């Protein structure tokens, strides 16, 4: 393996090895027939253009932290790791429990992890891949031994259910992963490549209530409390960025695309994923897709999909998996992990 400018190779150091995963979604289903009653759309349009059939939406009493805690507890159980062993929690979210404190602190309290640091990370749909890379770096540096990373979102709280161009896409959910320090150089997070282009921030944003549009001032545009997306632009950029990231990673790591057992992409649109499959010239079954059930859950989507693939037999120990995402920021990122 060689090194390049943008990627990070973990060599001759502690590896961050996947010890367990978990996920949680709300019980309440919002299907395409429900959306037909809310906006001028149809099941046929949504399925054809996005591949989404239904998504999960929180009910009274559920929140980003409650989903994150449930996913985290399942991941700890799967990893056979006690909360007391966790020394680092990173929660990726753009729909935090509160402005502050960090949702990661609610997770720490919820699971009873007494001795650890906990912080949130905001890289939107690329958040989970950024969190994997961050935790792997902390572990490689010897600073932490057992990391819990969570991608948790309640996008329904910032979705405009009067905008048919966006409300059909998003859902709520959380996924978690336990990463443990290991000495086997062939296993764990082998490579990460993280990117950002803040110049493209207007492509995907939610502008209230940050310091630019504070709660103390009437909003110039009341709809700025909701996510605004330029769907077409995102679509085209996402395909290009994801294909380039996978090809670049293979080249830098001296791998062929055939060495990757499965790609677990951010679930943003089934057609985007199909375009990536075509351009990479890989069989359909090498790309994990579950967007039909959950829609786009931003930073939770890869974590939920990976948990599902590991527990339904699509992935097994020893497989090389690529997690790859594109989203607001703009941000895009990839992790190569030997399970």
Catalytic residues: 125, 266, 296
**Residue 177 found at the interface with ligand UT7 (CB under 6 A):** no
**Residue 165 found at the interface with ligand UT7 (CB under 6 A):** yes
Residues contacting 196, CB < 8 A, separation 6+: 123, 329, 330, 331, 332
Please, which residues bridge with residue 30 across strands?
55
Binding mask 27-66 for ligand UT7 (x = CB under 6 A): --------------x---x---xx----------------
Q: Indicate left, alpha or beta for 61 from its phi (over 0: left) and psi (-120 to 50: alpha).
A: left
Q: How far is the CB of 180 from ligand UT7 (least distance, A)?
A: 30
**Residue 286 found at the interface with ligand UT7 (CB under 6 A):** no
Quick one: 103 or 159, whose CB is closer to ligand UT7? 159
Q: How far is the CB of 67 from ligand UT7 (least distance, A)?
A: 18
Give whole-number Cα distances, 269 to 15, 75, 86, 216, in Å: 32, 26, 34, 36
Cα 182 from Cα 126, distance rounded (Å): 25
Q: How far is the CB of 37 from ligand UT7 (least distance, A)?
A: 13
**Residue 110 found at the interface with ligand UT7 (CB under 6 A):** no
Which 223-252 positions form the footprint of ligand UT7 (CB under 6 A)?
229, 231-232, 234-235
CA dihedral 42, 43, 48, 50 (to 10 degrees): 100
| Residue among 269, 275, 297, 299 that touches ligand UT7 (CB under 6 A) | 269
SS3 content of the chain, % helix, strand, coil (to 5): 40, 25, 35
Quick one: 149 or 268, whose CB is closer to ligand UT7? 268
Q: How far is the CB of 51 from ligand UT7 (least distance, A)?
A: 9
Cα 232 from Cα 230, distance rounded (Å): 6
Question: Interface with ligand UT7 by CB under 6 A: which residues?
Answer: 41, 45, 49-50, 125, 164-165, 168-169, 204, 229, 231-232, 234-235, 268-269, 296, 327
């Amino acid at each position: 393996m060689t090194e390049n400018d943008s990627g990070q190779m973990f060599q001759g150091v502690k590896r961050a090895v996947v010890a367990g995963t978990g996920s949680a979604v709300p019980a309440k289903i919002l299907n395409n027939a429900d959306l037909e009653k809310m906006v001028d759309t149809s099941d046929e349009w949504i399925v054809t253009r996005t591949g989404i059939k239904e998504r999960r939406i929180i009910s009274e009493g559920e929140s980003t932290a409650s989903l994150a805690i449930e996913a985290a507890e399942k991941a700890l159980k799967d990893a056979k790791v006690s909360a007391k062993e966790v020394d680092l929690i990173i929660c990726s979210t753009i729909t935090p429990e509160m402005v502050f404190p960090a949702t990661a602190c609610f997770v720490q309290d919820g699971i009873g992890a007494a001795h650890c640091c906990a912080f949130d990370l905001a890289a939107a749909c690329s958040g989970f891949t950024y969190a994997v890379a961050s935790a792997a770096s902390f572990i490689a540096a010897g600073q932490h031994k057992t990391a819990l990373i969570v991608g948790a979102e309640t996008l329904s709280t910032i979705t405009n259910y009067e905008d048919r161009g966006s409300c059909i896409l998003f859902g709520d959910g959380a996924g978690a992963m336990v990463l443990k320090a290991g000495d086997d150089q062939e296993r764990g997070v082998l490579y990460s490549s993280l990117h950002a282009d803040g110049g493209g921030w207007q492509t995907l944003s939610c502008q209230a209530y940050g310091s630019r549009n504070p709660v103390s001032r009437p909003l110039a545009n009341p709809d700025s409390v909701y996510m605004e997306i330029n769907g077409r632009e995102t679509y085209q950029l996402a395909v290009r960025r994801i294909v380039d990231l996978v090809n670049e990673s293979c080249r830098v790591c001296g791998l062929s695309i055939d060495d990757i057992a499965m790609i677990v992409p951010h679930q943003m649109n089934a057609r985007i994923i199909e375009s990536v499959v075509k351009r990479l010239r890989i069989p359909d079954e090498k790309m994990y897709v579950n967007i039909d059930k959950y829609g786009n859950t931003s930073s939770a989507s890869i974590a939920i999909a990976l948990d599902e693939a590991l527990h339904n037999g699509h992935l097994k120990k020893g497989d090389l998996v690529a997690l790859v995402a594109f989203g607001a920021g703009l941000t895009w990122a990839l992790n190569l992990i030997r399970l």
